[in-house]
């Protein structure tokens, strides 16, 4: 890991440290700390977005406010860009143009601030500002989360230096920022705009367009009607490890000192105290896997995991020891039978995930995890079979249905997140044809 990424990781720790010491109930939602969570997710986005330019030169960059897919900039889009400004500036590797200077120069040049979201326009603005690179991006408001796509563009070539995405949980703080929205100004163009044809509203055969909920609902229905339905059956896939990069966005595992009623039998512990928690995985009736952390003397506890879900922590093969770095509190791989996670899963392989906590999370009685196991299979489009992948994401709940599908359209063995990732139940255009993907068992 580079030094500048380590600096931003330290910023995440500082953000979470501000709320250390507050008791967290096992059933509480992580949204109770919505502001700190949002800041930490933006800081993590900055880590993944850092371009590796391989030089000692201090790159000068500008970060534009993020817009939604309708070219509207809300307070949420501004909040994201401001968060990136702070986190990228802290690395010492980048000189970030202040927002007020950015607005003033764009106003002097008569450029539309909020429409600058395509690569060509970003390159033009970057040259006017005299910066080496431009950070820009969009966000999509989905049902339970906000998906952010960010990229860094080199102003001399117009090429993308790096890309990153993040999934932000929709909580009270995020909803407030989203509601404060205004329509974007006209995008930057190199030629005059063609005047729009006036519509005679008195002519009933040529009514004016109506925008709003009904308009977008009708447009969505029209796109879905023309789309070819593609049902992806998870049972046709096989487990693999890290076929594409894993991701995690939340730390949903809460720790308590009082033993849950579901744990009926415990081993002879070495330490004088314990912390308990559970991981919720899969789609079975009993989706909870309880565990106990034995707080022995030394920096790392021992983990007892109820793999067979019988309430007995003594018959699951002994404690799991720390497998991470010596500086952290606890990090280890957990292995569970797929048959206990997913109904009807007859995979011979086990489900594997990484469970961890650090000093900051530990003070807040939190643990995080992400799935190492992913699924690989084939998706047939227009008679052509493509390699496809399903990975856990967002909730990290091991159902593999809420993240979407990754399809290697160009056959290069890699996944391009901008062009080869498709949301579930959303219309996607591939090779000039529309498809509607549905993931199910």
The phi and psi torsions of 369 (rounded to 5 degrees) equal: -155, 155
| Spatial distance between the Cα atoms of 314 and 225, rounded to a whole number of angstroms | 55
Could you tell me if 28 and 150 lie in one domain?
A: yes
Residue 367 pLDDT > 60, yes or no?
yes
Question: Does 195 fall in a domain?
Answer: no
Among 315, 338, 371, the domain-final residue is 371
- 32 and 157 share one domain: yes
Residue 265's pLDDT band (boundaries 50, 70, 90)?
Answer: very high
Q: Is 274 helix (H, G, I), strand (E, B) or coil?
A: strand
pLDDT, tens digit (0-9, with 9 covering 90-100), for 310-339: 999 999 988 999 998 767 899 999 999 988
- Say what the pLDDT of residue 303 is: 97
Is 398 part of any domain? Answer: yes
Whether residue 181 has pLDDT greater than 60: no
**CA–CA gap between residue 243 and residue 40 (Å, rounded):** 26
Mean pLDDT to the nearest integer, 244-253: 71
Residue 199 lies in a domain: no
Share of the chain above pLDDT 90, in %: 23
Domain shared by 150 and 20, yes or no: yes
Give the ranges where 63-179 is alpha helix by DSSP (H).
75-90, 99-108, 119-129, 172-179
pLDDT digits (tens, 9 = 90+) for 4-45: 444 444 444 444 333 333 333 333 444 445 677 788 888 888
Share of the chain above pLDDT 70, in %: 72
Does 56 map to a domain? yes
Would you say residue 194 lies in a domain?
A: no
- Asked if residue 427 and residue 290 are part of one domain, the reply reads no
Residues 251 and 274: beta-carbon distance below 8 Å: no
Lowest mean pLDDT among 76-80, 147-151, 157-161: 157-161
Same domain, 52 and 152: yes
How many structural domains does the chain have? 3
**Domain of 429?**
228-244+373-440
Instruction: Quickly state the pLDDT bin for 213 (edges 50, 70, 90).
Output: very low
Q: Which class for 369: exposed (0-12), middle (13-18), buried (19 or more C-beta within 10 A)? A: buried
Residue 89 region, left (φ>0) first, then alpha (ψ -120 to 50), else beta? Answer: alpha
Residues 311 and 392 placed together within one structural domain of the fold: no
> Does residue 215 form part of some domain?
no
- Domain edge (last residue) among 319, 344, 371: 371
Give residue 118's pLDDT.
57
Burial of 137 (0-12, 13-18, 19+ CB in 10 A): buried
pLDDT band at 202 (very low <50, low <70, confident <90, very high): very low
pLDDT at 13: 43
Residue 213 lies in a domain: no
Q: N- to C-terminal Cα distance for the chain? A: 38
Both 359 and 377 in one domain: the answer is no
| Same structural domain, 136 and 16 | yes
Question: For residue 197, which of 189, 205, 206, 188 has the smallest C-alpha distance?
Answer: 206
**What predicted TM-score, i.e. pTM, was given to this entire model?**
0.53
Alpha carbon distance 400, 237 (integer Å)? 11
379 in a structural domain: yes
How far apart CA 21 and CA 25 sit, in angstroms, is 13
Q: What is the pLDDT of residue 59?
A: 81
Model confidence band, residue 263 (pLDDT cutoffs 50, 70, 90):
very high
Write down the mean pLDDT value for the chain.
76
Whether residues 170 and 314 fall in one domain: no
In tens, the pLDDT along 27-37 reads 344 444 567 77
141/103 same-domain check: yes
Same domain, 168 and 19: yes
For residues 120 and 153, give the distance between their C-alpha atoms in angstroms, rounded to a whole number: 9
Which of 334, 354, 371 finishes a domain? 371
Confidence of residue 79 (pLDDT cuts 50, 70, 90): confident
For residue range 424-441, what is the model confidence (pLDDT) as tens digits? Answer: 777 888 888 889 888 887
CATH code (residue 68):
3.40.50.10610
> Is there a single domain that holds both residue 49 and residue 157?
yes
Q: What is the pLDDT of residue 219?
A: 58
């Amino acid at each position: 890991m580079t030094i500048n990424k380590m600096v931003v990781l330290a910023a995440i720790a500082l953000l979470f440290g501000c709320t250390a010491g507050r008791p967290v109930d096992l059933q509480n939602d992580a949204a109770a700390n919505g502001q700190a969570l949002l800041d930490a997710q933006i800081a993590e986005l900055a880590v993944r977005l850092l371009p590796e330019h391989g030089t000692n030169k201090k790159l000068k960059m500008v970060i534009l406010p993020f817009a939604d897919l309708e070219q509207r900039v809300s307070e949420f889009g501004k909040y994201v860009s401001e968060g990136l400004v702070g986190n990228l500036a802290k690395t010492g590797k980048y000189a970030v143009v202040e927002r007020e200077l950015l607005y003033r120069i764009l106003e002097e040049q008569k450029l539309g601030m909020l429409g600058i979201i395509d690569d060509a326009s970003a390159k033009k603005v970057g040259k006017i500002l005299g910066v080496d690179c431009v950070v820009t991006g969009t966000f999509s408001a989905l049902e339970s989360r906000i998906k952010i796509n960010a990229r860094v563009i080199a102003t001399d070539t117009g090429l993308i230096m790096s890309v990153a995405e993040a999934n932000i949980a929709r909580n009270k703080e995020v909803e407030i920022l989203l509601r404060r929205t205004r329509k974007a100004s006209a995008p930057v163009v190199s030629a005059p705009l063609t005047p729009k044809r006036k519509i005679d509203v008195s002519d009933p055969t040529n009514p004016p367009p109506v925008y709003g909920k009904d308009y977008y609902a009708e447009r969505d229905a029209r796109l879905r009607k023309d789309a070819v339905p593609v049902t992806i059956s998870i049972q046709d896939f096989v487990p693999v490890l890290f076929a594409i990069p894993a991701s995690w966005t939340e730390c949903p595992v809460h720790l308590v000192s009082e033993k849950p009623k579901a744990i009926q039998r415990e081993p002879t512990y070495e330490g004088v105290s314990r912390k308990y928690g559970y991981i919720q995985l899969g789609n079975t009736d009993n989706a909870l896997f309880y565990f106990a952390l034995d707080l022995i003397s030394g920096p790392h506890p021992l983990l007892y995991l109820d793999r067979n879900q019988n309430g007995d922590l003594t018959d699951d093969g002994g404690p799991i020891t720390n497998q991470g770095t010596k500086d952290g509190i606890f990090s280890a791989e957990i292995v569970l039978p797929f048959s206990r996670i997913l109904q009807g899963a007859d995979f011979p392989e086990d489900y594997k995930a990484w469970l961890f906590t650090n000093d900051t999370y530990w003070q807040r009685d939190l643990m995080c995890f992400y799935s190492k196991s992913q699924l690989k299979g084939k998706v047939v489009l227009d008679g052509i079979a493509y390699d496809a992948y399903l990975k856990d994401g967002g909730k990290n709940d091991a159902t593999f249905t809420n993240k979407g599908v990754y399809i290697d359209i160009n056959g290069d063995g890699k996944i391009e997140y901008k062009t080869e990732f498709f949301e579930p139940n959303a219309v996607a255009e591939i090779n000039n044809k529309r498809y509607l993907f549905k993931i199910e068992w």
